[in-house]
Amino acid sequence: MRTLASLSLLAALVGAAPALADGFVSATPAVHVSLPATASQAQLASQLAAQGYSNVQLTAYVPSLANPHPELTTPDASPATTPVQNGWNGTATKDGETVNVYAGE
């Protein structure tokens, strides 16, 4: 029963999303990059730069409520040896717009 209520709430929120997008709530744009699991953050940054992205800020830390933007507070010292995470890896900028960076195979 609890799952059904949760699904109903989710369906209602998804149905309201277009209305929310016109107001003060909007989704953050994202870029998805396909890389092998053995790729490094340096390779990810290089691929993003080749696609026209700048201000690439990557981190090995997963965002949390306590630290929602770890790419801003915990930069990694060695991107050549830091592996890319499957999923969110940080942010980048293109055409003046900041996007979330996701990677995976």
pLDDT at position 10: 44
For the segment 17-42, what is each residue's pLDDT rounded down to a tens digit? 444 444 555 578 999 999 998 999 99
Residue 96 above 50 pLDDT? yes
For the segment 48-58, what is each residue's pLDDT rounded down to a tens digit? 999 999 999 99
For the segment 69-86, what is each residue's pLDDT rounded down to a tens digit? 888 776 666 888 889 988
pLDDT at position 42: 93
d(CA 67, CA 38): 26
Q: pLDDT grade, residue 3 (50/70/90)? A: very low
pTM for this model (two decimals):
0.68
pLDDT at position 99: 96
